[in-house]
Amino acid sequence: MSLWVAGSVCNCPDRARRTSVVEFWIDLATELVSIRNFSGAFAVYIGVCKPSVNRMKQTLAHVDSSRKRRYLTLETMFDGFKNLAGYRSALGDAELPAIPLMSTFIHDLAATNALPTQLPLTAKGEDKTLINFGALRNISKTLQSMKACHMQYQYTPKPTLQDWLDQQIKPFQLSSKDEERLVNEFYDASKRHERRMTRLVNCNVWQHTLSVIVDDYAPALVAHDEFV
């Protein structure tokens, strides 16, 4: 899904249209969080974060301030440097049902599996083996969390909408090699649409309004010949 998101932005030659598409995806990710579809929200967020999208500073600079605040909220929730602490907290507080990130469960189980299930102990000259109940409790806790999320939403199925979504996403269900090729195509399209703004390279456009960016980085809005 993240490739679908990135492609919908990168394949749009008009800057204003690209900005509108980015705003749409941010709104959708926010709505998905509100209905506790964290997996879908994360996929959309990753799509907006793709290098091919993130390098288009002019496009992102024109995103309105309310959507920028929503993006920063998503960024905090899905911050991988903190082991997705924001997401984990939101999932723990969420009403069920919810659609979690399976990757976090897999990570937690893999990390726990790396721990020894038995611990040697030497006491009073006797060698004993203790069961590592801490590791087993972690496994049980993770499995319980997975099971708790396994509930049906009370939504009426929309076959027509589902078929449309399947048709949109199917072209992006690719092998690793084809996915890499498509990512490169998106990046090339991104470079064709927007030249590199040298003075904006290190500017986090999500944290500033457009007026601030224009006032502080006005020379960067002049086209450059350098494509990166």
pLDDT tens digits, 143-178:
888 887 777 788 888 899 989 989 998 988 889 999
209 shares its domain with 186? yes
The domain spanning residue 6 has which CATH number?
1.10.840.10
More confident residue, 103 or 68: 68
Indicate the number of domains in the chain.
Answer: 2
Provide the pLDDT confidence category of residue 123 given band limits of 50, 70 and 90. low
40 shares its domain with 107? no
Give the integer Cα–Cα distance in Å for 77 and 87: 5
Average pLDDT estimate for 38-42: 94
Residue 227 forms part of a structural domain? no
Burial 10-24, CB ≥16 within 10 A → b, else e: bebeeeeebbebbbe
194 shares its domain with 122? no
More confident residue, 133 or 72: 72
**Whole domain around residue 113: which residue ranges?**
101-148
205 shares its domain with 116? no
Dihedrals φ, ψ of 20, to 5°? -65, -40
75 shares its domain with 181? yes
36 shares its domain with 137? no
Domain end point (choices 148, 173, 206): 148
SS3 124: coil
Provide the pLDDT confidence category of residue 40 given band limits of 50, 70 and 90. very high
23 shares its domain with 123? no
90 shares its domain with 16? yes
Provide the pLDDT confidence category of residue 225 given band limits of 50, 70 and 90. very low
60 shares its domain with 134? no
Average pLDDT estimate for 12-18: 92
pLDDT at residue 51 tops 80: yes
Residue 115 forms part of a structural domain? yes
17 shares its domain with 79? yes
pLDDT at residue 209 tops 80: no
120 shares its domain with 197? no
Most distant CA atoms of the chain, gap in Å: 79
pLDDT at residue 30 tops 80: yes
80 shares its domain with 125? no
